[in-house]
Structure 1
Amino acid sequence: MEDPHLKCLAKSLFTTVLNSKAPSTTKKYMYAFNRWRKWAQSLNNIDVFPVKPVHLALYLQHLGDSKQSRAAVEEASYAIAWIHQMAGLPSPSSNPLVLTTLSGLRRSLAQPVVRKEPITPDMLEAMVRACGANPTLADVRFLAVCLLGFAAFLRYEELSNLKCSDVLFFADHMEIKIRSSKTDQLRQGDRVYVACSSKVTCPVTMLKRYMDMGGLSSSSGILFRPLAKGGWNPLGSLSQILEFTALDQEVLLLQLKLEYQTDYSRGMVVGPQIAPRMAMLRTQSLLSWELHKD
């Protein structure tokens, strides 16, 4: 292609085609295809591209035997299909042999589903009450994240991208602007409405309290930000707020043992605030897993 204008268009076309998938998906597919490339180049009489159906079926069997991962097998099939689609070639992943191989590996590599314990309103209420009548800014911030994410069904990415200007408060509800989300591939945006309630777990009340305490009502920056000594940490992220490790759990359990008497005869910790504190501990662990699993 000698014409400079056509060369420029070809470069733009390549970028446009890559944008047909999310950046994370493109990165994952390119990694999977490069893994196929290395395997094919290590053997004789196998063409890297275009991929022959019988070679793809053998490669999927190799992944099933070596990785023992259903996800790795499916990712390889989807990635190779995507590469051929971009090149305008028929996909070997649609071949009956490949489809049958993929189906068999899915069955043989299937793992039992381990369902995580869901967060319940009772757990959230116990967590709010555990913070007492005068919670710190850090406590109110964490409670606002939990209650808002629970009430509005927001993902981690949606919560972390919220800005102060995205929240509007009204007499009986609040309006939240979601700029982009996993289900909004074209980034058209959306608005979520959360009603007020008379309970201690009202997300509207807690979020307003957080913004008032943090002086964020007139700010245009990120809504949920970590604290630093002497003020907000402008370089932090929401993940720093929500991280809850096994070490944190051990420290809190130790604090509980020191704060309250232990009834060794019955083998249990006693004290009026133990149950709420433990509910908060469990909720933090569950929420941290839910928000970082993707």
Structure 2
Amino acid sequence: MHKPALPSTFDLPARDYVRVVMVETSHSGNIGAVARAMKNMGLGNLWLVNPASFPDETSYARSSGASDVLDHARVVSSLDEAIEDCVLVMGTSARGRKVPWPVMSPTDAARQVGEYQGRGQVALVFGRESNGLSNEELQRCHVHIHIPTNPDYSSLNVAMAVQVMCYEIRMEYLRGLENSENNPQLKPITAPGDTGWDVPAATVSELEGFFAHLETTLAEIDFHRRDNPRQLMTRLRRLYQRARPDQMEVNILRGILTAVQKSTSASGRGDGGRKQDQTNV
């Protein structure tokens, strides 16, 4: 049994006017993988031109919970039928043409898709696994989309190509939202203080307490000599300040230092322990 459909709001406006068209797909698993890629990015309008096998258990299994996309997929007998009511048709192509044709990158194509909201249906056409779209089929497209892959290994699985385009359409939508600069889906989370980080950044006072604790502990285990400090604490200070720890991380580090001090005291090492070579520190 295939997985039931996972909940989805299909939140992109493009859900209503963008269709993904797969031409003569030979492996039904790729249809399921495409449905998954579409649902990941908030799209769900799938058209299939003469698939070798659909519907079947393999396509549903590969959809991983995007079975609702497959349930509503349209199966038609020709590319003409799939695009006849569209005002813009964009076909993916990895090959150059003898007659130059308008070509766009996925990013530029997604931008144009966004511009067609409210103007009519848009089709994104993807070809066969073995040889893509024929010359005749490509000539039915207003624009060709070229994904700039590694020229030494340029072949993309059809589901990968669909994922690239669906991702670019989603990113174009998110960037166009009001106050998009504050959209949590677009903002990076790299350090304490960023929206989404779980613990506040450590204060200067908390870091200074840690540095004092660190220096004391290193002295107690004879790794640091206060009478001949060289640059040890300067370099350690630079290291930890570069890491920008949060309050919990500082507490963890101080807990480790406390455990080291207790262990050293219990073993009777203390100042009698072996001196560490600090020649290069």
Shorter-chain TM-score range: under 0.3
Structure 1 or 2: larger helix share? 1
Q: Which has the larger radius of gyration?
A: 2
With structure 2 as the length reference, what TM-score do the two structures score? 0.23
Relative CO higher for 1 or 2, CA cutoff 8 Å, sep ≥ 6?
A: 2
With structure 1 as the length reference, what TM-score do the two structures score? 0.22
